[in-house]
Amino acid sequence: MFLGYPFGVKAYKLLDLQSDQIFLSRDVHFHESIFPFHPHFSPSVSPSHSIPPPFHSSLPHSISIPPPPSSPPLLPSINPSPDISNSQSSSPHFLAPSSPLSTPSPPQPLHSPPSLVSPSRRTTRTRCAPEYLQDYHCHQTTLTAPIPSLDQLLCSPSGTASPLHNTISYQHFSPTYKAFSTTISTHIEPKTYKQALKEPGWCQAMDTELAALEVNQTWQLTDLPPGKVPIDCKYVYKIKYHSDGSVERLKARLVARGFTQLEGVDYQETFSPVAKLVTVRCLLATATVKGWHLHQFDVNNAFLHGDLHEDIYMNKPPSYPKGSPTQVCKLLKSLYGLKQASRQWYSKFSNVLFAAGFSQSKADYSLFTRDINGTFVVILVYVDDILVASSDITAVQELKSIFHRHF
């Protein structure tokens, strides 16, 4: 008889109806149609079999659970006999234990009338296609077949309940959008340097990135000092698209593996403020109400303008032709991937704004303002994206020239 779950043991707590002993077992078979303590229960067994009295009167006062044996015994085999009248037990077994934590008396075979065993139950829950499939689709822009019904999906001969090619159709899209989606899914960005070498376009993009780093004097080649460990670098590839889906350019960026930097040796502080979203909303709302001019700037290779105060050495880029094989790059300017790259760029940009007469807000350190002779200019900085609002377009043009001169 099932009593519950014991604390701290992965097993069932059971009552032996013959010996009135409570024991534990990990492998039981439940017969949910047999209730030996029900008042109207009358088992179809021979007269020699009897049901013990109710549980509360037959439960012994002292219950002891025998300890498990030193060596785990073999699981008892259960061979039920079709003729229950041949059984020598005084009452039917409704649980068949087969665990080391079993009753002290030897477990007996399971004998129960076949008519009392309930058949296996089937779920009545309504089956439907998973909702997460609505977020996925494959790039088949020429699909014209209608989407099958739910019953057809669940009974798919391929064995897949919800094939991806049946979840969405592009047949109602315009030809322009079909071409756009096809173009986006056609080009593949390389994951490694060896993959990029196979395409001339990516080779040219890497050459352009190296030329920009050399013009900016990002590093100088030198021998590695004793006791210094250089950090590694890699290329990151990205395809830039136009709004119509055509490829704008191939962009290759050399980044440093900053996760190998040592705190206190290769960098100190890393925090860099960025504009709060509430500040962006307030600036846009104020500019709309007052009719200010709004302009947005993006600085090319912004992190390369930051100055480094630590001695950081980096391995040469892959296939870099200059210098000897034993030389490394001593970084003079900040590089993408460094721990302090964002902080050094913000420091460099804010110093330029201070020199131009701007004041920093105490409510949001990314907000800079200037008011000269009734001309009010606001600058909001989010890493390398800059939002400028002013009542005078001439002040915006002057600010552009300052940015071009320094960056």
288 and 388 co-located in one domain: yes
Taking the C-alpha atoms of residue 182 and residue 310, their distance in angstroms, rounded to an integer, is 47
Residue for token digits 């500040």?
279
220 and 366 co-located in one domain: yes
92 and 221 co-located in one domain: no
Taking the C-alpha atoms of residue 60 and residue 52, their distance in angstroms, rounded to an integer, is 13
In a structure prediction context, what are the per-residue pLDDT tens digits for the chain, which is 407 residues long? 999 999 999 999 999 999 999 999 999 999 988 888 887 766 554 333 344 444 443 444 444 445 544 444 444 444 444 444 444 444 444 444 444 444 455 555 444 444 455 566 777 877 776 777 666 654 444 444 454 444 454 444 555 556 555 666 677 788 888 777 777 777 788 999 999 999 899 999 999 999 989 888 899 999 999 988 999 999 999 988 887 777 888 999 999 999 989 888 888 888 988 999 999 999 999 999 999 999 998 888 888 888 888 899 999 999 898 888 889 999 998 899 999 999 999 999 999 999 999 999 999 999 999 998 888 999 999 988 999 999 999 999 999 999 999 88
* pLDDT given for residue 279 in this prediction: 95
Asked if residue 126 belongs to a domain, the reply is no
103 and 142 co-located in one domain: no
236 and 114 co-located in one domain: no
* pLDDT given for residue 162 in this prediction: 60
**Torsion sign, CA atoms 316, 322, 326, 327:** negative
CA angle 134, 139, 142 (to 5 degrees): 110
* pLDDT given for residue 135 in this prediction: 62
Strands (DSSP E) contained in 99-143 are: none
Asked if residue 259 belongs to a domain, the reply is yes
Indicate the residue among 186, 210, 229 that finishes a domain: 186
Helices H / strands E in the chain, number of each: 8, 13
pLDDT tens for residues 280-324? 999 999 999 999 999 998 888 888 888 888 899 999 999 898 888
Residue for token digits 């399971």?
110
Whether this model's pTM surpasses 0.85: no
Asked if residue 367 belongs to a domain, the reply is yes
268 and 383 co-located in one domain: yes
343 and 212 co-located in one domain: yes
* pLDDT given for residue 257 in this prediction: 92
Number of compact structural domains in the chain? 3
CB 280 within 8 A of CB 236: no
103 and 25 co-located in one domain: yes
182 and 199 co-located in one domain: no
Asked if residue 177 belongs to a domain, the reply is yes
* pLDDT given for residue 137 in this prediction: 55
329 and 275 co-located in one domain: yes
Report phi then psi at 336, rounded to 5: -60, 135
Asked if residue 290 belongs to a domain, the reply is yes
142 and 54 co-located in one domain: no
Taking the C-alpha atoms of residue 307 and residue 189, their distance in angstroms, rounded to an integer, is 31
Neighbouring C-beta atoms of residue 350, cutoff 10 Å:
17
Helix (H, G, I), strand (E, B) or coil at 22: strand
Asked if residue 351 belongs to a domain, the reply is yes
259 and 308 co-located in one domain: yes
Indicate the residue among 102, 121, 140 that finishes a domain: 121
Sheet holding 313-314, edge to edge: 219-223, 327-331, 313-314
Domain that holds residue 12: 1-121
CB 268 within 8 A of CB 253: no
Asked if residue 69 belongs to a domain, the reply is yes
Which region holds residue 301: left if phi is over 0, alpha if psi is between -120 and 50, else beta?
Answer: left
